[in-house]
Amino acid sequence: MLRQFGLKKSPWVVHFNCNSCNGCDIELLACLSPLYDLERFGIIHVGNPKHADVLLVTGSVNHRNARVLKNVYDQMPEPKAVVAVGVCASTGGIFRECYNVLGGIEEVVPVDVFVPGCPARPEAVIDGIVKAAEKLDLRRRGQPVSRPSLVPETHEPSPKPAAPPETVPATPASPAAPVAAPAELAKTP
Amino acid sequence: MSTRMTLGLAAVVLAPIVGGLIRGLDRVLTARLQGRQGPPLLQPFFDIIKLFQKEPVVVNRTQVFYAYLHLALIALATFMLATGGDALMLLFILAFSTLALVIGAMSVRSPFSRIGAQREIVMMVAYEPILILMVIGFYLANGSFRLQSVYEASRPMLLSLPLVFIAYLSVVMIKFQKSPFDLATSHHAHQEIVKGVTLEFAGPYLGMIELAHCYEAAFFLGLAGLFWATNAWMAALLAAGVFAVTLLLDNLCARLTTHWMFRFMWTVVFGLALTNIIWLYWR
Amino acid sequence: MSLLPAKTVTPDNLLHEVAVLRQQGYRLVTLTCLDQGTGHTVYYHFDKAYQPLHLRLEIPDGQELCSVSSLYPAAMIVENEIKDHFGVKFTGLALDFQGRLMLTEAAPKTPMNRFRRCGMELDARQPAAASPAAA
Amino acid sequence: MSQRTTIPFGPQHPVFPEPIQLRLILEDERVVEALPAIGYVHRGLEKLAEQKDFQQDVFLIERICGICSFMHAMNYCQGIEQLLGLAVPERAKYLRLIWAELHRMHSHLLFLALLADSFGFENLFMQTLRCREEILDLMEITAGNRIMLTTCCIGGVRKDITPDQLKRIGTGLDRAQASLRELGGAFAKDYTIQRRLKGIGVLTREKAHELGAVGPVAKASGLAMDLRQTGYAPYPELGFNPITETNGDAYARMMVRLRELDQSAELIRAAMGRLPDTPLSVPFKGNPTGEVAARIEQSRGELLFFIKANGSKNLERFRARTPTFANLAPLLHMLPGCELADVPVIVVSIDPCISCTER
Amino acid sequence: MSSIVSSEAILLLLLIAGPMIFGAAAWGVRTESARRGVVLAAVGCVVASGLALALRGPFVLAGARWLEPLGGILEAALVGVFFALGVCRRMWLVAAAAGVQAGLLVWEHFGADPASSVAPPFIVDPLSLLLVLIITLVGSVILLHGIGYMGRHAEHAPPTAAQNGRFFLVLIGFLGLMNGLVLADSLRWFAVFWEGTTLCSYFLIGHDGTEEAKASARRALTLNALGGAMLSLGMVWDHRQGGTGLISNLIANPASTPLVFLLTAAFVKSAQMPFQSWLLGAMVAPTPVSALLHSSTMVKAGSYLVLRLAPAFASTPLALVIALAGAFTFAATSAMAISQSNAKKVLAYSTIANLGLIVACSGINTPLAYAAALVVLVYHAISKALLFLCVGTIEQQIGSRHIDAMGGIFFKLPLTTTIAALGMISMMAPPFGMLVGKWMAIVSAGQTPLVLVLLVIGSALTIFFWGKWLGRIVTTAYHEKYHLEKIPRTMSAALVVLGAMVLVAGAGVMTVYRAWLRPLAISTLSHVYLQPDSLGLLQSVDSFMGWPIMVTLLVVVLAGLASFFGLRRTQVRLPYLCGENVVVGTRTFEFRSVMDQRTTAQVTSYYFTHLFGEETMTRWANLVALLILLSLFARVSLA
């Protein structure tokens, strides 16, 4: 009975800024402010992946921070979820064509919730975290959790690096999730 | 003997619940002071339940011993507090409990965890003398080192040990990791050493440490209540007062540095406690 | 085309000119590098009491440029950046990042060059996560 | 075995909202050497700006940095206008000033919040963010977005501020200034804050000049250097004078920004009172040509854009030197000798914007 | 009757002369393997004789009359050796001290009333029995370790080092001297053994023959020779005042002037401030020497003398000053230990601190304090010997004594490190003996505020250096392979035996206290026992129960083991390095940094040299300690 209170009611968040222009970052900070108050959902911004349940990523991936993002994700204990905040994290956004940009964070880590917006509004960010928390709980109960993907089906998936031996295999997720199903996306108000 | 045993076991069971509520209240009130709605009152319990549902992740396997040791010893200290055991031994067990956490944090080669651990040791060195002086004060006022004598005393300790009580307040501030003393770890990890001591503990092991923090909350407020042990209501009031002061100061101060803390504790606070003790001798 | 009003210097008298400006109390704002196909143009932007002053310097490919970080220590960072982006080599850098200030091993080499796609043959879409594992 | 501690500070670190790594070498807890590793936010925006249409670039360049986005766009537009020889209508200049100062206010408030966070004053952090929401509201009302205003365009502004909105800005500023007075008192007078800021990260006037410090960092060291005096926007008409402090420590840098907040609010009020009635923008034809080095005083200091256009719709070279880039060298000068606990304070005290720095 | 007497005499002879004979044998044999056999035999003999004495229980053995002049002759010979050493090696202070001693001997010989000369008895009472047990049990384990250690030491020792044969001669013979020292009741014979240990110490410190070793040996000899002169002075003074030259007699009829001289001698021997420098220098000696002489036995001779004399100065004005001197040493050296990065120096400072604690407890002069002193005496000997042996073993394996170099030794030396960690825990954590001793000390110091404050400060500082060091050695990380350590069997056996002793004695601390130490303390200080205050405190300590702690620790170990083996390999992850870990291989502490280079993250220990710097602190602390010592002399007039 008590078990259902756990993950849903206390998602701890670690934030990693990949390539963001700070727009989404400062909206994330605004989430902490009294006006939006993340903590009322039991959400705490912990700085440390080892304590976190949800990884919030802002900005696209570049050559240097991809490895950092991967490390941060790998260090989080299961069950875990990833929220891509803003268009840059989702697809690369306006910077998609830059020479040092690899694209959305999907290139490196599996994403559970996409939060659109340039920048994403605080309400949308909170909604994204709460949705991720629900997925966490489903994942704990061993139920199948769909992962949305913004990568078109025709797109050739980029060769993912072989997982190092100490990496925990990703929790089974149905690969054929509908592309950016509206229900999975937190909408900007 | 058996009633004391029951009392002790009841304390071991109840302390985390009370401590969790205190911590929940702390978070709610802090949020309200900051003009926020804050989490639900039961949030600390949700957190602990969640942590026990998470995957245990460690940097090395020996780490697990220290988490258990930390929790077990703080529970033992609570047991001794309730049964009225020897006060000095109580402090040593408490110190051993903190030390277990410190060594656990040192045993991983994670830089922030180690820096946090060493800061925690400095903090222990800073507050241990105050706690020992407090117990000496109990002894001088009651003629016994056993806490039982404090429970049975006819005169509230606060009247004999007013300055020691003030010194004890700063010890509570340090133990609760409240500003200006939140140096080695903090709940909201916005600081230079991330989460410090607890950095490399994750999942259930972090849950144990959180549980131990609940024990600590109940333990230290209970210890504050001892200063007016003659009347249960006054004791509760005193504990509530200590809680309020820590809460207020936490919201009114910036975090200061380890060196400042060490100097402050060994001069001002130590001086306060010592003055009180000397006064007790000459009385 | 109106070029920036600038005093032209050569690699030989660069340090002297910069030293004179430093003597006069000028602040080094930054350096700008432009790719000209067979060489690079480097602008040195200075400022004194809101009055900008620019130096223009042309160097052919392959020639090394003397760092001004001995006179203006802060120039070290921008010189390293130019080294990353254009492949212009500086001598006497206080701290040489070896072309790894902004870019990492998997990133394209000298990507800012306009007329030469030096290093751009590397696929920019290659996942970087593979690179640390390969190292 | 050496007696020194080596630790990575960043890129993923809770006190840094942005990824940058400082490799710190410590003795006990005293910093003896700090070296930065950057490039975690490097996108290659300068190159992309060359590939896109110069009009599209306004939106791209606005995203150099989300915190002072409007001023990036403004500087770029001013540079292109200079190349095209456009005279921007007066009303557009005033409106740009208002948005720019609103941006400065929200940026400085964000700085104060992050500073409070860096020395562990959670309550103050919360209150500052609450105050900042007032400013964000004003930006949302006038432009439709809280952060990216996208109201600046080449030749003027895209959108007017209506009289109703002006009134709302007035009341919003009143509220913000009222809470700012309380916050300012706490920031300036609190014992624990003074303890953490005074004498920390001292940059002397000479060093500030030598290392090319800009913006509040330079102003806190006593260099009265503020490009708003050059009159790229109607600042001189509004009686603008730069604010300086003399001590050059983290406290002085905070005080400069604290005072600039009030100054900005007053500038906005004055601008609203003198808003001329002219068209919002001038039309133009053709493509820019030539080279220009456009400068503007951004919230963190001097921003320089070097633009080279060749008459086609693509720019030949776009180069941005952002204020944090200039302040990196002073930062590295300040760090050695401080305590580990002061590292976040010193880093935050220059109000770093790594996204700006690396583009 | 006579058979019993003779059997006891044989036992004592075995205890005192036996080791010397074995030592001579170890010196005499040619081959290393034979020497090993001799040392092993010595270990067996020493343990057997110690246990036999314990089984026999207390008795007094009246000596023969010829023993007294024999003692005089031996002492004269020793003084002669000192004088010769002083002159030959240009240690003028030693020569001067020896000269003074010689003068005193002559003066006493001619001035003494021959009638007062008595046959010197040997006393086996609970206190001396306790010491004999420590010497024989702990000492023999150290000898055992020494076999393996010296075998390896020969490999890295400088070419100037003396022969292993001579080393074992002195080391084994030393045990006999020590046994004699604690059993002798005659001041004359006490002095003989006392000087003998000084001489042993000189040879052993200088064993390696390096310049540093020679200088340290000279310093040790100089200070201890001065201490010896003090002892002679006290002895002669006692004689002059009509004493019989028996310690028991001196205690029964205390005279403060000889007492103060004897106490000063004891302070020198147990390296109390301001005489601590010789013990710190002595750390250059091979580890068995440090363990045997400078932690568990020789320095205990000084504490033993203070404890022996405690009834004499109890409830005199001297007591407070002695307590203060000890407490000050405890606090100051605990602080100085923080700034040390040399492991053996940390141990040395900690040793001095604990000796100070014993002295302080003797000075508080309540039965509880006395019992506390005894507890510290016993448990310190075991734990510190263990720690020294561990550090010696570690040093031989990793080639460094630096604390920071000991990070991660858990992989290389799992057994030694576990035992070392156990030793450190036993130095500071409940329910082990050292903490119980400290606890009793603080409880009993309740009525002497100044001493109390010093004890409180000292015990808080103790946590600092043990904690940081303990954290350092138990550091392990990530899937590295554990190696089976390759150390000689004698060394590992010694470590295991001592580790077991720490555990068993630690678990039984309250039993030992109730059965032995408390009655001893009460009988020794029976004249202060009857005060109601000390009675109440004694009872308060009596009711302490160690078992809940034991049960808790047991539960923790079981639960921890379950989790330890329950963890899957994938659940062991990289440490947090701000996301920039190098993930390849097991180089887990490397992060990518400037220019993508790999850099190793490391955190050194905090030494707080600006607060607890050795030089400045030593200067000031020595000054204060000297003042305290002078006030001891000043108090003579009051006593």
Chain E residues 571-590 with a CB less than 8 Å from chain C: 582-584
pLDDT at C14: 86
> How do C27-35 and A145-146 pair as beta strands?
unpaired
User: Could you give the angle at the alpha carbon of D49 between the alpha carbons of D46 and D53, nearest 5°?
Assistant: 170
Over 60: is that where the pLDDT of B276 sits? yes
Strands A54-58 and A12-17: parallel
Q: How confident is the model at residue C134 (pLDDT cuts 50, 70, 90)?
A: very low
Q: For D53, which DSSP code? A: B
pLDDT the model gives residue C1: 61
Q: Select from D4, D12, D37 the Cβ nearest to the Cβ of E604.
A: D4
pLDDT digits (tens, 9 = 90+) for B213-268: 999 999 999 889 888 888 888 889 999 999 999 989 888 888 888 888 888 998 99
The H or E element that residue E600 is part of is: strand E598-600
Distance between E405 CA and the closest CA of chain C, angstroms: 29
d(CA A113, CA A100): 25
Domain positions in chain C? 6-134
**Which pLDDT band, with edges at 50, 70 and 90, does A23 fall under?**
confident
State both tokens at E546.
């160690």
| The CA-based dihedral angle spanning residues B61, B63, B64, B68, taken in that order and rounded to the nearest 10 degrees | 160
Residue of E nearest to D36 (CA): E594
Give every residue of chain E whose pLDDT is below 70, as ranges: 1-5, 109-119, 160-162, 477-485, 527-536, 585-588, 637-639
- ipTM, two decimals, is 0.84
- Quick one: CA dihedral E174, E179, E180, E184, positive or negative? positive
Amino acid making up residue E386: L
Domain count within chain E: 2
- Asked, for residue D307, whether it belongs to a domain, the answer is yes
* Min Cα–Cα distance to chain C from E171, Å: 56
Which of C32, C43, C103 comes nearest D39 by C-beta? C103
Looking at CA atoms only, how far is residue D333 from chain A in angstroms? Answer: 26
Alpha helices in chain D (DSSP H): 45-51, 57-62, 69-84, 90-118, 122-143, 163-189, 191-197, 205-210, 215-220, 250-273, 323-334, 343-349, 354-358
Q: Please give the Cα distance from E268 to E305 (Å, whole number).
A: 11
Q: Which two tokens stand for residue D108?
A: 């400085």
Residue of E nearest to A49 (CA): E576
Write out the E strands in E73-187.
122-124
Domain ranges of chain A: 2-152+167-184
Contact residues for C127 (Cβ-Cβ < 8 A; gap 6+):
A66, A102, A107, A108, A158, A159, A160, A161
Distance from CA of residue C113 to its chain's centroid?
12
Contact B50 A39 (CB under 8 A): no
Residue D64 lies in a domain: yes
Give residues 20 to 39 of D whose Cβ lies within 8 Å of E.
21, 23, 28-29, 35-37
- Give yes or no: residues E50 and E85 share one domain: yes
Q: Which two tokens stand for residue B71?
A: 């929790």
Write out the CATH class of domain A2-152+167-184. alpha beta
Domain C6-134 has CATH 3.30.460.80: yes
Cβ contact D14–B33 (<8 Å): no
Q: What is the extent of the structural domain holding E234? A: 1-301
The shortest CB-CB distance from A71 to any of E569, E571, E581 is to E581
Rounded mean pLDDT, B199-218: 90
Gap between the Cα atoms of D106 and D135, Å rounded: 6
| Predicted pLDDT of residue E407 | 76
Which of E398, E578, E582 is the best mutation test for D, with the most CBs of D within 10 A? E578
pLDDT tens digits for range E383-401: 989 999 888 888 888 878 8
Q: Are E75 and E41 in contact (CB under 8 A)?
A: no
Please tell me whether residues E142 and E214 are part of one structural domain. yes
Residues E262 and E119 in one domain: yes
Q: Could you report the per-residue pLDDT of C56-83, keeping only the tens digit for each?
A: 888 888 788 888 888 888 888 888 888 8
How many domains is chain D built from?
1
Dihedral-angle region of residue D144 (phi above 0 means left; psi in -120 to 50 means alpha; beta otherwise): left
CB distance from A107 to chain C under 8 Å? yes
Q: Which residues of A touch D130 (CB under 8 A)?
A: 33-35
Residues E334 and E291 in one domain: no
Give pLDDT, residue A172: 35
CA gyration radius for chain D? 20
- Residue of chain A whose Cα is closest to the Cα of D59: A94
Strand, helix or coil at D162? coil
Query: The tokens of E334 are what?
Result: 């605990």
D262 assigned to some structural domain: yes
Question: End of a domain among E274, E301, E328?
Answer: E301
Considering chain B, what is the average pLDDT of its residues? Answer: 87
Alpha helices in C1-135 (DSSP H): 14-23, 75-86, 130-134
Q: DSSP strand E in chain C: where?
A: 6-9, 27-35, 39-48, 51-60, 65-66, 90-91
How far is E233 from E105, CA to CA, in rounded Å?
Answer: 10
Same domain, E404 and E523: yes
Asked if residue E633 lies in contact with residue E620, where contact means CB atoms within 8 angstroms, the answer is: no
Q: What's at D332, amino acid-wise?
A: L
Residues E274 and E147 in one domain: yes
Is A78 in Cβ contact with B189 (below 8 Å)? no
DSSP per position, D293-327: EEEEEETTEEEEEEEEEESSSBEEEEEEE-HHHHH
What confidence category does residue C123 fall into, taking pLDDT thresholds of 50, 70 and 90? very low
Domain that holds residue B171: 2-282
Count of domains observed in chain B: 1
Which chains, if any, share at least 3 CB pairs under 8 A with chain E?
A: A, B, C, D
End-to-end CA, chain D: 40
How far apart are the C-alpha atoms of B173 and B127, rounded to whole Å? 10
Is position E375 within any domain?
Answer: yes
The neighbours of chain C, by the rule of 3 or more Cβ pairs under 8 Å, are A, D, E
Confirm if D19 and D344 have CB atoms less than 8 A apart: no
| Residue with more model confidence, A173 or C85 | C85
Q: Would you call D219 exposed, middle or buried from its count of C-beta atoms within 10 A (0-12, 13-18, 19+)?
A: buried
Residue D271, domain CATH: 1.10.645.10
- E219 to each of B70, C79, E202, E207, E345, how far by Cα in Å? 45, 60, 9, 14, 16
Residue at token pair 């639960």 = E559
pLDDT band for B74, please (50, 70, 90 cuts).
Answer: very high
Q: Is residue D14 part of a domain?
A: no
Q: Which residues does chain E have within 8 Å of residue B73's beta carbon, measured at their own beta carbons?
A: 552
For residue E151 the two structure tokens come to 């075998």
Our CA dihedral for E451, E454, E459, E463, rounded to 10 degrees, sits at: 180
pLDDT digits (tens, 9 = 90+) for A29-69: 888 888 888 888 888 888 888 888 999 999 889 888 888 89
| Cα separation of the two ends of chain E | 44
CA distance E373 to E517: 9
Per-residue buried b or exposed e for B47-76, using 16+ beta carbons within 10 Å of the residue's own CB: bbbbbbbbbbbbbbbbbbbbbbbbbbbbbb
Q: In 3D, which of A28, C37, C88, B79 has the Cα closest to residue E548?
A: B79
From chain A, the residues in CB contact with C107 under 8 A are 62-64, 99-100
Percent of chain C with pLDDT over 70: 84
Q: Are residues E91 and E150 in the same domain?
A: yes
DSSP string covering B60-118, please? STTHHHHHHHHHHHHHHHHHHHHHT-BHHHHHHHHHHHHHHHHHHHHTS--HHHHHHHH
pLDDT tens-place string over residues B23-58: 999 999 989 988 888 899 999 999 999 898 888 888
Which positions 558-587 of E are in contact with B (Cβ < 8 Å)? 559-560, 563-564, 567, 571-577
Q: Which of B26, B29, B50 to mutate to test the interface with A (most CBs of A within 10 A)?
A: B50
Name the nearest CA neighbour of C42 among C56, C28, C54.
Answer: C56
Percent of chain B with pLDDT over 90: 24
Q: Are E265 and E272 in contact (CB under 8 A)?
A: no
Per-residue pLDDT reduced to its tens digit, A72-106: 898 888 888 999 998 888 888 888 888 888 888 88
Lookup result for tokens 């010997």: E385
CA A89 to centroid of chain Cα atoms:
9
Q: Which residue range is the domain that position D96 belongs to?
A: 44-358
E116: amino acid identity, one letter: S
Chain D residue numbers with beta carbons less than 8 Å from the beta carbon of E601 are: 6-8
Q: Which residues pair with D305 in a beta bridge?
A: D294, D320
Average pLDDT along chain A: 76
Residues of chain D with pLDDT under 50: 1
Residues in CB range of C128: below 8 A, 6 or more apart = A61, A62, A63, A64, A66, A67, A102, A108, C104, C106, C107
How distant is the Cα of A149 from the closest Cα of chain D, in angstroms? Answer: 23
Contact criterion met (CB below 8 Å) for B139 and E540: no
* E632 domain residue, yes or no: no
Average pLDDT over residues B145-158: 82
Q: Are residues E351 and E218 in the same domain?
A: no
Backbone angles phi, psi at C65, to 5 degrees: -115, 145
